[in-house]
């Protein structure tokens, strides 16, 4: 495993220090070291990419409505939902290595590699105010709870769980069939608005 995963190509794991990475023009989330790597990943990434874009548009629209502004009432730092979503993406990227390691330990990947396809690490977070994060993206959120959950069980949880997990399984199938190894997932829940799942920042988010 590379020592840091925060700034690597989503297809080939080349690190941004070796080769500058370009963000996906669609969603601005996935990153690639080359056009070839972007093309290779597109089969798996395209649905998540479209859903990310739709979700961001929906958040921006919602923030401009009176109802949307009411939803922001409980957020720290006068954040809008769109800004909150942005912060979560930065926080996830900052902590990717730790999140992946936590995931491996939580689903006991050393005991059985098949656990990747049976469980995900569920992580619930809360946004922290300026007085706590002091402008550092790594401190934007505090973890409230984290535990492994069974994928089949969570398929019966309310939205957005089923589509999020189906998306993860799609990524797992595609990677395995291409011989690119197994994929373990973690899912971050920021109630009531956002769910983010890795690998690949292939996020599916719903309000």
For residues 48 to 87, the per-residue mask of contacts with Zn ion, x marking binding by CB under 5 A and - elsewhere, is: -x--------------------------------------
Decide: is 38 part of the binding site for Zn ion (CB under 5 A): no
Q: Give the Å distances, CA to CA, from 130 to 63, 77, 141.
A: 21, 6, 11
Query: Do residues 24 and 56 make contact, with C-beta atoms less than 8 angstroms apart?
Result: no
Q: Give the Å distances, CA to CA, from 138 to 128, 141, 156.
A: 11, 8, 32
Q: Could you tell me the smallest distance in angstroms from the CB atom of residue 21 to Zn ion?
A: 8
- Closer Cβ to Zn ion, 37 or 100, answer by number: 37
- Closer Cβ to Zn ion, 13 or 132, answer by number: 13
Decide: is 12 part of the binding site for Zn ion (CB under 5 A): yes
Q: Could you tell me the smallest distance in angstroms from the CB atom of residue 135 to Zn ion?
A: 27
Decide: is 9 part of the binding site for Zn ion (CB under 5 A): yes
| Interface residue with Zn ion, options 5, 11, 120, 205 (CB under 5 A) | 11
Decide: is 172 part of the binding site for Zn ion (CB under 5 A): no
Q: Give the Å distances, CA to CA, from 27 to 35, 44, 60, 133.
A: 16, 14, 14, 26
Residues that bind Zn ion (CB under 5 A): 9, 11-12, 14, 24, 26-27, 30, 33, 37, 49
């Amino acid at each position: 495993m590379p020592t840091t995963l925060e700034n690597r190509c989503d297809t080939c794991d080349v690190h941004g220090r070796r080769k500058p990475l370009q963000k996906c023009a669609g969603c601005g989330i996935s990153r690639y070291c080359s056009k070839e790597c972007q093309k290779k990943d597109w089969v798996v990434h395209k649905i998540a990419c479209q859903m990310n874009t739709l979700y961001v548009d929906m958040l921006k629209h919602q923030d401009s409505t009176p109802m949307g502004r009411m939803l922001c009432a409980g957020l720290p730092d006068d954040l809008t939902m769109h800004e909150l979503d942005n912060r979560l993406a930065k926080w996830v990227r900052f902590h990717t290595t730790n999140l992946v390691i936590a995931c491996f330990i939580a689903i006991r990947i050393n005991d059985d590699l098949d656990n990747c396809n049976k469980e995900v690490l569920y992580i619930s977070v809360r946004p922290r105010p300026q007085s706590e994060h002091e402008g550092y993206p790594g401190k934007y959120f505090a973890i409230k709870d984290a535990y492994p959950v069974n994928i089949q069980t969570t398929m019966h949880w309310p939205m957005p769980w089923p589509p999020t997990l189906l998306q993860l399984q799609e990524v797992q199938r595609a990677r395995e069939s291409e011989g690119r190894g197994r994929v373990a997932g973690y899912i971050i829940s920021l109630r009531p608005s956002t769910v983010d799942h890795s690998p690949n920042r292939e996020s599916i988010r719903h309000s």
